[in-house]
Chains A and B, each alone.
Chain A
Amino acid sequence: MESIENRLGLVSFTVDSEPHIRPKEEKCDSCNLKVCLYVCPAKLYRLEEGKIYFNHEGCLECGTCRVACPEDLEWEYPKGGFGVHYQFG
């Protein structure tokens, strides 16, 4: 099985220094579902010592976390020209 990290390495991105998705720490802390940990197709949400960490680098811009998150996740498309550049979409 090819790891998700290796597969993301095949994708072309222009990464913005500002994240376009911002989980709210206090809401994540109290969330008992934490579906983001497995529904994100890029595995960008991680749990470390009970806290959710999100890395926007590698975001495939699908919107699954936005739809699945039971809280009010702050989600925007990246700024113009940034984000993923698919070649075989």
Chain B
Amino acid sequence: MERFDAVVIGGGAAGLGSAYRMAENGMNVLLIERGENVGEKSVYGGRIYSWVFEKYVKGFQDAPVERWVKKERLTFLDERESVSIEYSSDETCSFVAILTKFNRWLAEKVEDAGGLVVSGIKVEDVRLNPLRVVADGEEIGCDAVVIAEGVNPMLAMKLGIRSDWKPEEVAVGVKEVFKLSESEVNSRFDVESDEGVANLFVGYPVFTHGGGFIYTNRDTISVGMVVRVDSAMKNKIEVYDLAEKFRAHRDVAGFLKGGSMIEYSAHLVPEAGIKGVPDALHKDNVMIVGDTAGFVLNRGFTIRGVDFAFYSGVLAADSIKEAMDGGDAGLAGQIYERKVRDSAIIGELEKFRKALDVLENTRFFNDYTRMMVEIMRGIFDVKEESNRLYDVVMEKSRGRKIRMALDFLSAFRGL
């Protein structure tokens, strides 16, 4: 039986983070990816917060960054109109990347550091006592296993580390990528070649839990929608046409004009914040990281997943090393548990526990989004006569001022 210090299951951001860190620390690590090519099963919206890569990855300046986000835009959409808030700055903390390409680059870093990466092989089982991984009919022995299998926790469920997601705990995202030219992207979004835009949308066409997005890649644009699975079920939303409906809106279509679609993709996103994280993140020396553990934070205007995924992989790697250095490799799972609970991952998810209640409130996705548009229409509509801001706001909020005040206060506190 072949033997490794650790086996990492899954070649997404979490698994690659874990394998990279272990390889860098001189450990004998094997990463197994089910896709024919490493990283090809990953799908996300488009933006990565850079801090964790700057902190842990040597040579990060050579990463396949599409554009650094210099403009953040939040848009409220009704059927025909929109209101946008834009924040523009020279400072940046995030970049747009094609995740499959970014993963491939990370896999090269793992191999450069001496880690072994194999793809096209699906892990069938993880067995305890003694710990081993079953893949391709063979058993591979190891001291620790890091499960980075993504949002569908097939192995983690089998091992009883976590339960399955309920429809209200995950959202389905659909994405279309459009080819343009670099100069077209620059002029349409009013940015320089290395600058990018992250635009999130609330309201149309779902007017419920979820929203749209546009991210500027170098010479392509990613556009799509996310909707919580329970809301899609309840409202009978035809998810297969969601991205098409969204991009048909006049304030989305303009960005894509003349571009040709080059790929369509779909993926689930953990949406339950801290409530989606299981009580225990390990069983013996098997640890769960990334989406498998539910490490995604949605605050409505920012969504973090890839940085937490990579970071949790690093923490798992460090726990395995610490346990091995201490002479009892079997303690890695417990050390990981403590490290994650003490880290910014759980810290942030806890801090924004109340954001879950805010984002549960459909009035933000429907009533208040429409109201925002109507107020703007009211004040900008100038004919012979025009409206006072006060009168417009009073009229639009008639009969629901207390409800609104409470809702906005909850958003102010929670987000």
Q: Which residues of A contact B40 (CB under 8 A)?
A: 84-87, 89
Task: Please give me the residue from chain B that is nearest to A5 by CB atom.
Answer: B240
Q: Does A76 have its Cβ within 8 Å of any Cβ on chain B? A: yes
* B214 touches A (CB below 8 Å): no
Contacts of B165 in A (CB 8 A): 67
Within 8 Å by CB of A88, from B151, B152, B248, B265, lies B265
Instruction: Determine the distance from Cα of A81 to Cα of B222 in the docked complex, in whole angstroms.
Output: 26
User: Is there contact, CB below 8 Å, between B265 and A89?
Assistant: yes
| Neighbouring B residues of A75 by C-beta, 8 Å | 152
- Cβ of A74 to closest chain B Cβ, rounded Å: 12
**Which of the residues A42, A61, A77, A89 comes within 8 Å of B240, measured between beta carbons?**
A42
Tell me if B's interface is mostly helix, strand, loop or mixed: mixed
The interface bits of chain A over 5-27 (1 if a CB of B lies within 8 angstroms of the residue's CB, else 0) are 00110110010000000000000
Instruction: Report B-chain residues with C-beta under 8 Å of the C-beta of A41.
Output: 172, 174, 239-240, 242, 266
- Beta-carbon contact of B120 and A35 below 8 Å: no
Task: Report the bound CA distance from A41 to B245 in whole Å.
Answer: 13
Q: Considering the complex, give the chain B residue whose CB is closest to the CB of A43.
A: B240
Check B167 for interface membership: any CB of A closer than 8 A.
yes
Q: Are B167 and A89 in contact (CB under 8 A)?
A: no
Knowing A77-B122, A80-B121 are in contact, say whether A11-B265 is a contact too (CB < 8 A).
Answer: yes
CB-defined interface of B157-200 with A at 8 Å, one 1/0 digit per residue?
00000001111001010101100000000000000000000000
The answer to whether A87 and B152 touch (CB under 8 A), given A39-B232, A64-B229, is no
Q: Interface range on chain B: under 10, 10 to 19, 20 to 34, or 35 or more?
A: 35 or more
Q: Report Cα–Cα, A25/B22, bound state, in Å.
A: 46
* Contact call A39/B172, Cβ cutoff below 8 A: yes
Minimum CB–CB distance for B259 against chain A, Å: 12
Cβ-defined contact, B268 with A88, below 8 A: no
Chain B CB within 8 A of A38 CB: yes
Interfacial chain B residues near A62, Cβ < 8 Å: 43, 172, 266-268
- Does A1 contact B241, Cβ atoms closer than 8 Å? yes
Q: Are A89's CB and B42's CB within 8 A?
A: yes
Q: Which of B29-37, B325-333, B352-360, B395-403 contacts A (4 or more CB under 8 A)?
A: B29-37
Interface string of A50-89 (1 = CB under 8 A from B): 0000000000111110111000000111111111111111
B239 cross-chain contacts in A, Cβ below 8 A: 38-41, 64
Q: Is B363 close to A, CB under 8 A?
A: no
CB of A47 within 8 Å of the partner chain: no
Q: Contact between B41 and A2 (Cβ–Cβ < 8 Å)?
A: no
Q: B261 interface residue, CB < 8 Å from A?
A: yes
Q: Nearest Cβ in chain A — how far from B73, in angstroms? A: 21
Distance between B299 CB and nearest chain A CB, rounded to angstroms: 23
Q: Least Cβ distance of B93 to chain A in Å?
A: 22
Q: Is B408 among interface residues, defined by CB-CB distance under 8 A?
A: no
**Which positions in B face A, CB cutoff 8 Å?**
34-37, 39-44, 98-100, 119-122, 135-136, 151-152, 154, 164-167, 170, 172, 174, 176-177, 220, 222, 229, 232-233, 236-242, 244-245, 248, 261-268
Binding site for B on A (CB under 8 A): 1-2, 4, 7-8, 10-11, 14, 33, 35, 38-43, 60-64, 66-68, 75-89
